[in-house]
Structure 1
Amino acid sequence: MRNKKRFLSIVAAVSMAASVFAGCGSTGGAEESAAPETTTAVESEEAAATESEAALAATDETADGYVGSGGTYTMYLRSTFIDWINDLEWYKEAEKRTGVTVEYQKGTSDEFGVYSEIDQMVLSGTLTDCTMVRQDQANVYGAQGAFYDLKPLIAEYAPHIQAYLDENPDYTSLVTNEDGGIYGLLVEAPQMANFIFYRQDHFDKAGIDVASIQTMDDFTEALRTLKEYYSDVENYYPLQGRDAVVRFQAFFDCASNISAEESNGFYYNSVDSGYDIHADNAYKMIETMKTWYDEGLINPEWVAGAFTEGDWEAAMWEGRGSVSFDFYTRPAAYNLEGTNYDPDYNMQIMPYLKDDDGNQMKAQTGPRYNQNRATVINAQASEETAITIIQFIDYFFSEEGQTLANWGVEGVSYEVVDGEKQFIADYDVELAKPDGEMEWSFLSDRYTVCKPLDSTAFFSFNSGIVRDAALSMFNDEYLQYGINVIYTDEQSEELSTILASLKDSCEAGLVSFIRGTTELNEENWQAFLDEMDAAGYTRMEELQLEAYRNTYGE
């Protein structure tokens, strides 16, 4: 009875943590979940007699990297993920080569809603053989015996996963629970940053050479030139955007960061977007943004938080803006529609800025592994089923499995030219296919299977403008890589409590300086810093540092 009560309390605690996290990071609305619907990825629409299928049939390949003997198991997933999986040609080929069939059961379309559903399924004993959960769920339930410890399964039945663990000690440390067990395998995520993108046609007409924009001062001067040239355009502001306006911290050397020595700024739940108000150049950042605001170089509605995504898109399409700093695929999306508004429309990507000494400034990325996507095996599944599951996952850690999941089939979706793989499958054509139609798609930021990431493949499968910029700029020279950190329940609870008010108060204070509501001077700035420290800023940094050291044993 004591263990049952403890298990119930753990379920309640994890459910509460899920609701807190969803409130902070989920963009999906709450949706009512339909009754579980079973589907298999080998079921496709009758539009099956395609050239690609004929080519696949001709190859008649078997899986050299697969060490199992086929089988079937059930898996509960967010419905959106299942819809994606069911449309993937390479996934269908993987099931054919391995002889494994996964019977998917659909949960809600909201990712964080699925986690709550899984809480209830674990409690009621109705969970499928396999599922995907948050890492904290995997460790809590796994330690209580609800999930398999994957460590012995991997050692005996999954040689390719074992090799990956041996070659990536940081990953091994990350997925290993404090009791020594491995209860969930995390998905490797693309490490990508926002791009600075601009209307090349606007720059050309205003006489601006983008190559001359090296520093933040150069950037500001370019905005001034644009503002003057397009002064007759109503409601024109050179710099436009959506959501949080404080997003340029990386180009002032004010990005949040963490190491074994120190934690600076907002890192918890803000790995790729956090800033540090105590950084040496934080004052300069706000001073510069105030200049943008005072001179009409940035949209005041955006600064005030009153500019929606739709407003931003309309402004950028209709010529009321020339520059943005946002998600890396946005430039291509703007170009798709841009010529409908202006025949000269030409969005391009600007190199990241340098500091005043010529040193490259680095844009922030998310962490390497997605801690919201841990693949687990239900302890109620038979040992035979557990082996089938771990060996199917293991296939995608083999050389052949990685090639299939990241590139597809040679001669069908890719070819080898001078020793290098190149996609034959056209990004725009494949992604234009309607839902339910099979496609060659390799968007590894979507959940499909637990597998290592081929960054070159991921960024190569894109529209030309994004592909070229990503392959040249998403590397060590230009990126500050996010770091995975594991927080205890107590740390997460305290951080969530602190951030519930601190983050909004901090951003409101910064915006107040930018808009001139509060005079920006050294005295007021120091008072602001003191106020934020008293509200929990320094305690937040202490907790983040403690968690980092616990994660990596430093």
Structure 2
Amino acid sequence: MRNKKKVISIIVALAMTAASLTACGSGGKGAESAPAAAEGTGNTTAASTEAESSATGSEESAADGYVGSGGTYTMYLRSTFVDWINDLEWYKEAEKRTGVTVEYQKGTSVENDVYTEVDQMVLSNTLTDSTMCKQDQANIYGAQGAFYDLKPLIDEYAPHIKAYLDANPDYESLVTNEDGSIYGLLVEGIQKGSFIFYRQDHFDKAGVDVSGIKTVDDFTEALRTLKAYYKDVPNYYPLNGRETPLRFQSLFNCNSNISAEESNGFYYNNVELGYDVHADGAYTMVETMKKWYDEGLINPEWIAGAFSEGDWEAAMWEGRGSISFDFYTRPAAFNLEGKNYDPDYNMAIMDFFNDTDGNPMKVQTDTRYNQKRATVINAKASEETAKTIIQFIDYFYSDEGQTLANWGVEGISYEEKDGQKEYIVSYDEELAKPDGEMEWSFLSDRFTICKPLDTTAFYSFNSEIVKDAALKLFTDEHLQYGINIIYSDEQSEELATLTASLKDSCDAGIIAFIRGTKELNEDNWKAFLDEMDAAGYTRMEELQLAAYQNTYND
């Protein structure tokens, strides 16, 4: 049984702000963090109208996977999400096929502020029929009677969601509260890793054959060759990056990890980039990175924390760097601008490495489900409205609904060849359309509606360089998948306090070894590990393990 959440302090805090209930912000369909002009939450918009009929031209008949009879409901969402939804051809087609109209109430454009607004609306009884909130909000307010228990609704009205829960017991365990209820359904997200990408034109000129890079040792030799070839280029370092340089743990088998039996390393709030200093490969990682640093193979400013994202981009565009290990869409982004600096500019993506025994090293991913995006139903909504909502969501768990949301309409956005779906719309052309213009877009990392994910479709709707590499490399063989965990309030509070200083201390200690300000040897490394354990490393692992076991009842 999971630990109970403490809610009294939350209710008191909300009561103090309820009288000043306000709402603001409305964003475009671009970057989620983009600021926007103030706009009241009373701005309600339907995602489809008679005048805005879909460009599909399909017949308005009942959808094969829809088990309802249409209807209308209201939903409060971040304004950015509403703008995205309103531009989607496939979403308008879904409303047309099901006869369901969602009247969206726009909230702020800042995601974290959305959750505060949900708090205020729940307390003031002004919440729409449905909304999206954090999972812990769903469980706290649901247990207090503010949200529907979705389990009876699913059992009676949503056969496709029920089938998904039956087929995914870990998901069912994750969304089931300690009282046995399901108060929110979580969005399934893409579990993607980072890519090692490189200037193919640099490699060709330096005589480096990328197909020969199988191990970290091979990689180091390639760095040396590049450094020697471009020795006359001022401030040239083959390996460059942004933010933390401690992102190579997957190349040395020292990722943080967790299971029912053990927790190793920084997992809380570090699923994608967490490392474990006690792993056998951790010392080798630091030793190798020190070698890169001493030989001028990695940018020393990056190691020192003095290299901004703009510095990194400039170095990679201007020829002062050849290799990076970063977000999976970055290679395509560099290529878009790179030709303006060098007509030969060609960023490519490298295969992941093997260890010395020939086994693939696994790159970390984020969690499968986004615990900040739980779809809930207001308990004050009528049962008929709740039925409309759950059956609309259920449609997207059917085969037809999944095809529509992930591929669109056959003959218009995709076609089938030899049993395989292929997009016939252009990724670049669709995403270049201005805000407010209808588009066939299938970016499943943007929130639209709670639905399963088709990873093949997601990666296929991308630039060619990213699509080909993702379909090849983002597989079970090469990925260590992040695991969703529910932390109690007590665990979250202690872990947040503990890791705030512990992670900084651990990072600083490793960087000191790499830069040589502290001598790297076995004795000093052991002393460093002992120091981290005494500072709370072991306690951190204990808390993470307990949370995992509570989440999955192990």
Say whether the fold is shared (TM-score over 0.5): yes
Change (3 A) 1:259 1:14: farther
2:3 paired residue number: none
2:495 paired residue number: 495
1:222 paired residue number: 222
2:148 paired residue number: 148
1:487 and 1:14 mapped to 2: Cα distance? Answer: 22
Q: How far apart are 1:451 and its partner, in Å? A: 0.2
2:346 and 2:89 mapped to 1: Cα distance? Answer: 33
Question: Cα deviations across residues 141-198 of structure 1 (Å, max 9, x unaligned)?
Answer: 1111111100001111111111111111111111000100000000111111000000
2:512 and 2:70 mapped to 1: Cα distance? Answer: 62
For residue 64 of structure 1, what is the amino acid of its counterpart?
D
1:181 paired residue number: 181
2:183 and 2:62 mapped to 1: Cα distance? Answer: 30
1:66 and 1:58 mapped to 2: Cα distance? Answer: 16
1:12 and 1:176 mapped to 2: Cα distance? Answer: 26
Q: Is the CA contact (8 Å cut-off) linking 1:33 and 1:107 kept in structure 2?
A: no
1:63 paired residue number: 63
1:171 and 1:514 mapped to 2: Cα distance? Answer: 41
Q: Is the CA contact (8 Å cut-off) linking 1:237 and 1:296 kept in structure 2?
A: yes
1:74 and 1:551 mapped to 2: Cα distance? Answer: 32
2:388 paired residue number: 388
2:69 and 2:350 mapped to 1: Cα distance? Answer: 50
1:264 paired residue number: 264
2:15 and 2:288 mapped to 1: Cα distance? Answer: 43
- What 5-or-longer segments of structure 1 have no aligned partner? 1-5, 17-25
Q: How far apart are 1:383 and its partner, in Å? A: 1.2
For residue 34 of structure 1, what is the amino acid of its counterpart?
E
Question: Cα deviations across residues 489-508 of structure 1 (Å, max 9, x unaligned)?
Answer: 11111111101211111111
Q: In the TM superposition, what are the counterparts of 1:357-372 in structure 2 within 5 Å? A: 357-372=357-372
2:314 and 2:426 mapped to 1: Cα distance? Answer: 28
Change (3 A) 1:13 1:253: farther
Does residue 35 in structure 1 map to residue 40 in structure 2? yes
Q: Is the CA contact (8 Å cut-off) linking 1:193 and 1:364 kept in structure 2?
A: yes
1:40 and 1:532 mapped to 2: Cα distance? Answer: 54
2:321 paired residue number: 321
Secondary structure, aligned partner of 2:224: helix
1:164 paired residue number: 164
Q: In the TM superposition, what are the counterparts of 1:17-96 in structure 2 within 5 Å? A: 28=33, 34-36=39-41, 37-42=43-48, 53-54=54-55, 56-96=56-96
Q: In the TM superposition, what are the counterparts of 1:232-251 in structure 2 within 5 Å? A: 232-251=232-251
Q: In the TM superposition, what are the counterparts of 1:59-458 in structure 2 within 5 Å? A: 59-458=59-458
Change (3 A) 1:265 1:14: farther
Q: Is the CA contact (8 Å cut-off) linking 1:67 and 1:391 kept in structure 2?
A: yes
Q: Is the CA contact (8 Å cut-off) linking 2:32 and 2:80 kept in structure 1?
A: no
Change (3 A) 1:32 1:487: farther
Q: How far apart are 1:524 and its partner, in Å? A: 1.8
Q: Is the CA contact (8 Å cut-off) linking 1:176 and 1:182 kept in structure 2?
A: yes
Question: Cα deviations across residues 511-533 of structure 1 (Å, max 9, x unaligned)?
Answer: 11111122212222122111111
More deviation in 32-41 or 141-150? Answer: 32-41
For residue 193 of structure 2, what is the amino acid of its counterpart?
A
Q: How far apart are 1:260 and its partner, in Å? A: 0.8
Secondary structure, aligned partner of 1:332: helix
1:380 and 1:474 mapped to 2: Cα distance? Answer: 43
Secondary structure, aligned partner of 1:443: coil
1:452 and 1:307 mapped to 2: Cα distance? Answer: 39
Q: Is the CA contact (8 Å cut-off) linking 1:15 and 1:116 kept in structure 2?
A: no
For residue 102 of structure 1, what is the amino acid of its counterpart?
V
2:206 and 2:510 mapped to 1: Cα distance? Answer: 32
Q: How far apart are 1:11 and its partner, in Å? A: 3.6
2:8 and 2:538 mapped to 1: Cα distance? Answer: 34
1:3 paired residue number: none
Q: Is the CA contact (8 Å cut-off) linking 1:73 and 1:385 kept in structure 2?
A: yes
Question: Cα deviations across residues 430-461 of structure 1 (Å, max 9, x unaligned)?
Answer: 11111111110101011110000011111111
Question: Cα deviations across residues 405-439 of structure 1 (Å, max 9, x unaligned)?
Answer: 00000000000001111111111111111111111
Change (3 A) 1:269 1:338: same
1:479 and 1:248 mapped to 2: Cα distance? Answer: 14
Q: How far apart are 1:332 and its partner, in Å? A: 0.9
Question: Cα deviations across residues 3-51 of structure 1 (Å, max 9, x unaligned)?
Answer: xxx96533458999xxxxxxxxx9959988632121222269x9x79xx
Change (3 A) 1:139 1:200: same
1:14 and 1:136 mapped to 2: Cα distance? Answer: 15
For residue 105 of structure 2, what is the amino acid of its counterpart?
Q
1:29 and 1:341 mapped to 2: Cα distance? Answer: 28
More deviation in 342-351 or 99-108? Answer: 99-108
Secondary structure, aligned partner of 1:535: helix
2:477 paired residue number: 477
Secondary structure, aligned partner of 2:57: helix
Secondary structure, aligned partner of 2:280: coil
Q: Percent identity?
A: 75
Change (3 A) 1:239 1:231: same
Q: Is the CA contact (8 Å cut-off) linking 1:66 and 1:395 kept in structure 2?
A: yes
1:326 and 1:517 mapped to 2: Cα distance? Answer: 27
Change (3 A) 1:12 1:419: farther
Secondary structure, aligned partner of 1:205: helix
Q: Is the CA contact (8 Å cut-off) linking 1:459 and 1:467 kept in structure 2?
A: yes
Structure 1 runs of 4+ off > 4 angstroms?
A: 12-16, 26-33, 58-61
What's the TM-score, normalizing by structure 2? Answer: 0.93
More deviation in 6-15 or 94-103? Answer: 6-15
- What 5-or-longer segments of structure 2 have no aligned partner? 1-5, 17-30
2:553 paired residue number: 553
1:388 and 1:402 mapped to 2: Cα distance? Answer: 18
Alpha-carbon RMSD across the aligned residues, in angstroms, is 2.0
For residue 39 of structure 2, what is the amino acid of its counterpart?
A
Change (3 A) 1:541 1:197: same
More deviation in 125-134 or 199-208? Answer: 125-134
Question: Cα deviations across residues 71-92 of structure 1 (Å, max 9, x unaligned)?
Answer: 1111111111111111111001
Q: Is the CA contact (8 Å cut-off) linking 1:7 and 1:144 kept in structure 2?
A: no
For residue 458 of structure 2, what is the amino acid of its counterpart?
F
2:458 and 2:88 mapped to 1: Cα distance? Answer: 15
1:15 and 1:491 mapped to 2: Cα distance? Answer: 25
Q: How far apart are 1:62 and its partner, in Å? A: 3.4
2:238 and 2:291 mapped to 1: Cα distance? Answer: 13
1:533 paired residue number: 533
Q: How far apart are 1:462 and its partner, in Å? A: 0.7
Q: Is the CA contact (8 Å cut-off) linking 2:62 and 2:98 kept in structure 1?
A: yes
1:512 and 1:274 mapped to 2: Cα distance? Answer: 19
1:544 and 1:530 mapped to 2: Cα distance? Answer: 20
Secondary structure, aligned partner of 1:281: helix
For residue 93 of structure 1, what is the amino acid of its counterpart?
E
Q: How far apart are 1:130 and its partner, in Å? A: 0.6
For residue 425 of structure 2, what is the amino acid of its counterpart?
A
Secondary structure, aligned partner of 1:64: coil
For residue 48 of structure 2, what is the amino acid of its counterpart?
V
For residue 463 of structure 1, what is the amino acid of its counterpart?
S
